[in-house]
Structures are given as structure tokens and as C-alpha cells.
Structure 1
């Protein structure tokens, strides 16, 4: 047992770092692009400050298609794009591409929903005061929706952790890869259990931090 753990502990540590890198970089891509897409969905919608029905329908369709494709299928479907962008289709770096593509539309809808919660009176007051569209977005909509946006980032990041585990099924590295190669293929149940425990701890810590930060912002 001790000999087994002496082998698995370094693997789990390396896999955890790979998972954190995948999730972190994917979220660094997801947050700005998802935020931009979510803002556009809101302001081009009916009654928005930049109402554009056709553009809104196109954006909505793109987001809906992106959210409809199962992640495991997306992993395979974007292999040519992944190879073109990072030069490989396996490993942690390659997994970041489908992770970001899967989560951007998801986060965009969360952003849109969060911004819709901002009272319309605030936008009307800013418009009456002569604020430009950019100022309404950056100084009214986003600041007022910040607690909800932080919660949305937390939810999205937890989702990315789950996706990263699936990426291990196709050589994406991380905890999912360890669980499959050692826990499933070698019938090492202890490795599978240890992987699940690490994932649960990561999710719990992330959820706690996200909730704490959102509460602090809501009291500000």
C-alpha cells in the first residue's frame, strides 16, 4: 500500500497542477470573450441600448449551438483547430482550446442573465444624464451586476473542472487522465477514489472562495 502511494502521490500532484493550468488558462480566455458576448447579447436585444434584432438573433444562435454540443464531441470536432493553434492535439495545452470554446457560450448566457437583473431605472438615469453606451456598460451594468458575475465565474470554473476531467479521456492530461489510465485501465480503485477526492476538494474550495467574494461585493 505504501509503495503504491509513493508512486501515485507524485502522479496526483502533477495531474492536479495540469488540471489547474488547464482550468486557469481556459478561464482567462473565457472571461473576457464570454463577458463581451454576454454584453452584446443584452444590449442588442429588445429594448437594449443598442437594439439590433438581426445581430441579436445571430449571436443567440451561435451561443445556443455552442452550448448544445456535448463536450466530448467538441473535443474531437475541433481537433483541426486545436492542431492549427497549438501544434498538437494531446496534452494539457491542447485541451485548453476545446475547454475555452465550450465555456465561452455558457458564460455568455450567465453574463446576459446577470446584467438583466440590473434595474432598468439605473440605465434610464444614466442615459438621461448623457452617458454614452460604453459608459453605461462599464460604469452601470457591470458594476451593479458584479456579485452575480462573480458567482457566474465560480459556476463556470467548476464546470470547466468537470470538462477538464473528461479531456483526460482523449489524452488531455490532468486528473481525468490519471483516473482513466491508472484507476480504470489498471483497475487501481484507490487511484480513482483519490482523484475524486482531489476534484471534490478543488470544487469545494472554489465554491467557498466564490461565495465569499460575491458576498463581500454585495455588501460593498
Structure 2
């Protein structure tokens, strides 16, 4: 149980870190290249939106299977916690990118116009206005994504990624030990509750309204 819990936490946290960075990047591209925004570009926006929509829509268990050749070429195997990371990141980053885009759209346009009138360049507007103003929503979004990632790790465990999902399925369900499945489920719930608490705490601290 200890090893399975550590594997789930490892997969969730590493995937979450990459998801946050990639999701912020994709979300900014989606927002900034849209019509009427700083970097309006129909082609780049269309390509980015297509990527996000496609990978956000593929069921995670199917995505893992589709990415097996890519995972093998990158990691050398399709088994173990590290092998689950490409699918976890590719599956979660587009999901979070849409949340980033929504958070940026909720910013009062007057704040951006005020920054422009004071001579702020595009970089300053992005890093000193857009991201700070949207940070409570970004943290709230990454909290939702983190919880989704925990559930993704459970699904990844069914095909050999390890973690609590693997423990619950192989040692619990397949070997007829419902107690193991129940305990693994409880541990997953505890991890989710902790992530939700941390996310809510940070969101409330950052929200200056």
C-alpha cells in the first residue's frame, strides 16, 4: 500500500507540474491569438484550438493505448509510473488550457487598457496584468485538474502503470480481496481531499476581491 500510494503521488505531482506549465502556455496562446487580442492570429489560434479540442476529447484510457508507441520510444517501456507520465500530461494539459483561457477572458478589459495607456508592452501586460489578475482562477483550475489527474492515475494503473489503481484492480479485484480495493479507494479519497483543501486555501489567499 505504501509503495502504491507513493507511485500515485509521484505520477500526480510530476504530471501536475508539467500540466501547469504547458496548460498556461497553451491557454495564453489560445487567448492572445484570438480575435481582438494582443497577438491576433487566426492560423495559430485555429491550430492550437484544434490540438486542445482533440486531446481534451479523447477518453483517457484510449489515449494511453494510442500513445503506447510514443511512450515506448520516449521512456523505453509502457509499464511503471514514469511510463504513465506522457499520457497523463498530454491528456490533462489541454483540459487545463481551456480553464486558463476562460480565466483570462474573465479579466476586466479596462485593466488591460489602463496598462496599455501607461505604456506597458505586451510582455508586461502578460506577466504583470493578465497572469496576476487571473491567478485565483488559475489556481482553482489547477486544483480541479489535479483531482482529475489522480483519477487518471487510477485508470493508468489498470494497464500496468502502478499506483493505487493497479493495487485496487490486481490485488483487490482480480484476487478477490475487496478489503484492498476499499482501502485503496479511501487513500485516493484522502489524496483528493488534501489537494482540494490546498487548492481552496491558495485560491482564497490569492483572491483580493
Q: TM-score, normalised by structure 1?
A: 0.93
Q: Secondary structure at the match of 1:219?
A: coil
What secondary structure is seen at the aligned counterpart in 1 of 2:87?
Answer: helix
Q: Structure 2 residue aligned with 1:159, among 148, 163, 166? A: 148
Q: Which residue matches 1:199? A: 188
Could you say what secondary structure the match of 1:145 adopts?
helix
Name 1:211's counterpart in structure 2: 200
Consecutive unaligned residues of structure 2, counting only runs of 5 or more, are: none
Give the corresponding residue for 2:162.
173
C-alpha displacement of 1:219: 3.2
The equivalent of 2:15 in structure 1 is 26
Aligned-pair RMSD on alpha carbons? 1.0
**What is aligned with 2:49?**
60
Which structure 1 segments of 5+ residues have no match? Answer: 1-11
Provide Cα deviations, 1:130-176, integer angstroms capped at 9, x if missing partner: 21111111000000011111101100000000000000111010000
Give the CA deviation at 1:86. Answer: 1.1
Partner residue of 2:36? 47
For 1:129, which of 118, 141, 149 is the aligned residue? 118
Answer with 130-139 or 153-162: which moved more. 130-139
**Post-superposition offset of 1:50:** 0.9
1:93-124: CA deviations, max 9, x gaps? 10111000100100100100111111001111
- Give the C-alpha shift of residue 55 in structure 1: 1.4
User: What secondary structure is seen at the aligned counterpart in 2 of 1:130?
Assistant: coil
- Comparing 71-80 with 123-132, greater Cα deviation is found at 123-132
Q: Work out the CA distance in 2 between the residues paired with 1:32 and 1:208.
A: 22
**Structure number with bigger Rg:** 1
Task: Tell me what 1:13 maps to.
Answer: 2
Output the CA distance in 2 between the equivalents of 1:48 and 1:162.
35
Deviations, residues 61-84 of structure 1 (Å, cap 9, x unaligned): 110001111100110101111111
Which residue of the partner structure matches residue 113 of structure 1?
102
Matched, 1:38 2:19: no
User: Which residue in the other structure is 1:3 paired with?
Assistant: none
Alpha-carbon distance between aligned partners in 1 of 2:142 and 2:102, rounded to the nearest angstrom: 13
> d(CA) in 2 for partners of 1:31 and 1:62?
17
